[in-house]
Structure 1
Amino acid sequence: MRIVRRAFVNWLLTACALLPCVSGQAAPEFPNRPIRLVISFPPGSTSDLLARRLGEQAGKALSQPVVVESRPGAQGVVAARAVLSAPRDGYTLFLGTNSSHAANVYMVKELGYDPLKDFTPITQFTINPLLLVVNAAMPVHNVKEFVRYAKERPGKLSYGTGNSGGLVAAQMLKSQAGIDAVAVNYPGTAQAMSDLVAGRLDFMMVDPVVIRSIAQTGKVRVLGLTSKQRLPSMPDVVPLAEGGLPDYDYASWGGLFAPAGLPPDVTRRLSQAFGNAVGDPGTVKYLSELGMIATSSTPEEFRVFVQGQIAFWGRLTKEAGLAAL
């Protein structure tokens, strides 16, 4: 009898260990440890500042720190691939952009991931328009004057490009304005800006945060904004669509992703925390000073947006003559 009783007790203890509901224990609530947010740009970059600002605010709402990790290289490919190898539990996130989740589909031969099938979209963060700027010596002060000036000098004007966004935006300008200008490619925007200021280039499409201090010196002149939505920190800069090119609308963007298969409840929790961070009035102002327009979305809305951007960039890269490397 004693042996039978001991066997029964052992069986009962084993059963309780295998059935958490019997013991009353439950899985820990998300999150219960720090969250890693991977970015594809170096420390000190605009993306780094964006990630740290939103991470700090979202971390307070989630009661866990959000640690920013930089994995630069190959237009976001390095960072994206690193995130895909992480567990699908919400503790590894990715600040994706139009490069990593749209342009790279057409510009990178061995991409190694599908922007939608391999990721869970969580929420959009920003819209990032560019500015059309010219060397101050050019006798034009608005978009219409610029187009007229360029048309009178076919093939004579030159412009610099330091990234795919600037290249595509300039190609759109040439196509919609019906002008002919020569592209000069640079390894980065900073080098191109130096030549624009020195008068070796005539115009550029460039990020607002890059050009603002230079424009204040009077060495370059801002003519227009690439997005139809105005930038709050530069309300007097007229969109190209209002300045004579009604169909012109271009902006890069950034948003939050996780590896595919993220549990729906974790997705919603992250979307709410980071969405509220984006909508904070102080953050809206902060991002505007960086040349960004704050915007957020539900996971479903963000997925539809990314799908549209993949198709949009397919047309843009084709028009710009960009080939996969």
Structure 2
Amino acid sequence: MKILAACAAFVASLLTMQPATAQSYPAKSVRIIVPYQPGQGTDVATRYLAEHLTKAMGQTFFVENRAGAGGNIGAAEAARATADGYTLLMGTNGTHVLNQYLYPSMPFDPEKDFEPVILVSSFPMVFLTQPSAPYNSLPDLLREAKTKPDSLNVALPSTTARLVLELLNQQCSTSIRGIPYKGSGTSMTDLMGGQVAVAIDTVSASRSFIASGKLKALGVTSLKTSALLPGSKTVAAQGLDGFQVLAWNGLYVPRGTPSAVVQKLNAELAKILAQPEVRQRLLELGHEPAGGSAAELAEFAKSERLKWGPVIAKAGLKAD
């Protein structure tokens, strides 16, 4: 009887543990691992949101950068952390979708090792060219690619940019050549200098050049017109129905983190992301604010894996 009573007490303590954890959480500082260099887009947006979480939750939320291997180093550290809500990861479409298809081995499992919290933001890519280029739309570019297949080369400063071009080539039966770049700085310089004909990059990296007339946009890769670049047509609206490529940021915690903590983080971030001044600031930083439930982030990431796994396999793409 004593053993049964002890077991019953233990089960009861487990049932009451999560609400109590949620009520007291956070009781100390919380680190958010960003698996990229300081100053990069995900890092800047995460630091901004960390300030708001600090104000909302009464404890310091701070960013710790752990860059390398396309985000895998930082994500692996987060996966190994104690599942108590005091280590978070700002994951991306790289860490939680693309890398498992690009790298021969992974130091973590993006599904099994993490619990999703909330989709924080997304941002489309944009096709760019010089103002004097003989094409003013994506159909113009595709005609050029088919009539003069050797005349086009496209600067690709990121893995997501590589995938945009690969998806275009696969859907349109073109063979536009991509030239890898390490970051946007050199690729923009080469595009404006005429060393490459086209570039694919984020809106945040390119919109100042578009606004000043130094570059022109041929199409953005969101399904709907992006608030980041009003007035620019989408690729989907130019004849490629359903064409969508988004980079994105989503908050994750190590698998096993109490669900009550996950729910509290989701609720607080949802409130923050709904604030007009926060939404405006994220747009200024090049991010379209998102939101939703943890389950919605899980389903979204799953759909992304189903989409990009076959594309990467067909192209034979590997990490640089």
TM-score when scaled to structure 2?
A: 0.89
- Separation in structure 2 between the aligned mates of residue 112 and residue 45 of structure 1, nearest angstrom: 23
Q: Can you list the C-alpha shifts for 1:31-72, whole angstroms capped at 9, x where unaligned?
A: 111110110122222111110111111222211121011111
- Separation in structure 2 between the aligned mates of residue 324 and residue 163 of structure 1, nearest angstrom: 11
Q: Which moved more, 1:179-188 or 1:162-171?
A: 179-188
- Separation in structure 1 between the aligned mates of residue 139 and residue 319 of structure 2, nearest angstrom: 34
- Separation in structure 1 between the aligned mates of residue 99 and residue 310 of structure 2, nearest angstrom: 13
Q: Which amino acid aligns with 1:290?
A: L
Matched, 1:323 2:318: yes
Where structure 2 has 5 or more consecutive residues not aligned to the other structure, the ranges are 1-9, 14-19
Query: Secondary structure at the residue paired with 1:204?
Result: strand
Q: Is the 8 A contact 1:34 1:64 kept in 2?
A: yes
Matched, 1:65 2:75: no
- Separation in structure 2 between the aligned mates of residue 216 and residue 319 of structure 1, nearest angstrom: 37
Q: Is the 8 A contact 2:228 2:288 kept in 1?
A: no
Q: Offset of 1:167 from its aligned partner?
A: 0.4
Matched, 1:180 2:189: no
Q: Which amino acid aligns with 1:271?
A: N
- Separation in structure 1 between the aligned mates of residue 173 and residue 128 of structure 2, nearest angstrom: 18
Q: Offset of 1:324 from its aligned partner?
A: 5.7
User: Which residues in structure 2 correspond to 1:152-301 (within 5 Å)?
Assistant: 152-301=147-296
Of 34, 43, 48 in structure 2, the residue corresponding to residue 48 of structure 1 is: 43
Query: Secondary structure at the residue paired with 2:248?
Result: strand
Residue equivalent to 1:303: 298
Residue equivalent to 1:105: 100
Where structure 1 has 5 or more consecutive residues not aligned to the other structure, the ranges are 1-18
- Separation in structure 2 between the aligned mates of residue 202 and residue 306 of structure 1, nearest angstrom: 33
Q: Offset of 1:203 from its aligned partner?
A: 0.7
Residue equivalent to 1:116: 111
Q: Is the 8 A contact 2:54 2:61 kept in 1?
A: yes
- Separation in structure 2 between the aligned mates of residue 38 and residue 235 of structure 1, nearest angstrom: 32
* Residue identity (%): 28
- Separation in structure 2 between the aligned mates of residue 70 and residue 250 of structure 1, nearest angstrom: 26
Q: CA RMSD in A?
A: 2.2
- Separation in structure 2 between the aligned mates of residue 156 and residue 60 of structure 1, nearest angstrom: 54
- Separation in structure 2 between the aligned mates of residue 53 and residue 178 of structure 1, nearest angstrom: 42
TM-score when scaled to structure 1?
A: 0.88
Matched pairs, number = 305
Residue equivalent to 1:94: 89
- Separation in structure 1 between the aligned mates of residue 286 and residue 220 of structure 2, nearest angstrom: 11
